[in-house]
Amino acid sequence: MLTNYMQNNTQHTPASVIIPNNALPSLTISYDIENYYSLLSHITRDVEQRWILFIAPPGKPNVTFLQQAGIHKNRIITLPQNKIGDHSELLKSTLKSGNYSTVVTWLTDCDASLQNELSELALASNSKCFVYCTQ
């Protein structure tokens, strides 16, 4: 998943572009499910020791790639789609918990109301939330 991004999209993002962690909003919504630049930029510089949670990813995160980026594999948790009941409620509860430095998920849709709620929850828990939408 993330390795494919690095192999296929490095020519689109200049290496000199750096986004400071504190400049990222608490919630990042992307409708380009192949563009993981903001996520990769964040997690490679994330110095927190809280977990990084992938909820229902379209594939398995490449742990070797993340370890090479300085992320220890013990910080990475992946919840496959078949283990999830109510996706939105799970996302909200993980942000409320404050246990995760980064929460990444893929949704069919993320309306303005959900975006506002997720943004507030991520801000309150000092987490970064990345949502990839297909619509």
Could you read off the pLDDT of 3-50 as tens digits, one per residue?
A: 443 333 333 333 333 344 455 689 999 888 778 888 888 887 877 889
Give me the residues paired with residue 55 across strands: 79, 105
- What does the alpha-carbon distance between residue 103 and residue 99 come to, in Å, rounded to a whole number? 10
- What does the alpha-carbon distance between residue 118 and residue 98 come to, in Å, rounded to a whole number? 13
pLDDT tens digits for range 51-65: 999 999 988 878 787
